[in-house]
Amino acid sequence: MGSPYARTHAYFAARAAGLPDPSAFWPEVSRELYALLDTQLTPFDDALETLAELRAREVPVAVASSSPRERLDRTLARVGLAFGVTVAGDEIEHGKPAPDMFLEAARRLGVPPERCAVVEDSPPGVQAGVAAGMPTLGVCRVPGTEHTLAAADRVVDRVSATAILSLL
């Protein structure tokens, strides 16, 4: 979670004999993944509430995801969300934990990185936010795994506009 497809594929290919080449395997994986997204994806209520509050306060918001563009767009459409700025994992050279996608999101928003906050639920994402020099909020959705997000400036179990804005 939080890593680009190529890195995830390489991780599993090193551990499983016979895993097809990444480009050959992606159509099969994406077919299964998209079927799940289309039928079972539900957004976190706290994330939707937070987004609504940030938009009401006219706080610019972007999405920077390790997902390829096709998956990112499909995921956002499935939950009925649209953003003026989105950065997909296949649009940048170095994925998380490198800071590239967060720096690109800040550039597209026209906001200095130090005035952006990163909200992340994965260790590579937290590492990327810290590497970008952005205050980082770790959102732990699995109780007992808070330590995996410990590099964040703050770790919470529910995201809120207050928690995000307190970092800035």
Sign of the torsion formed by the C-alpha atoms of 118, 146, 94 and 42: negative
pLDDT score at 27: 79
The mean per-residue pLDDT over the stretch 95-122 comes to 97
* Distance, first Cα to last Cα, the chain: 26
The mean per-residue pLDDT over the stretch 5-18 comes to 74
pLDDT score at 58: 97
DSSP conformation class of 155:
E
What confidence tens digit (pLDDT) does each residue in 28-86 have? 877 777 778 888 889 999 999 999 999 999 999 999 999 999 999 999 999 999 999 99
State the Cα torsion 127-110-76-138 to the nearest 10°. Answer: 30
Please, what are the domains in the chain?
Answer: 45-165 (3.40.50.1000)
pTM of the complete model = 0.85
The conformational region for residue 56 under phi > 0 = left, psi -120 to 50 = alpha, else beta, is alpha
Helix (H) or strand (E) holding 14: none
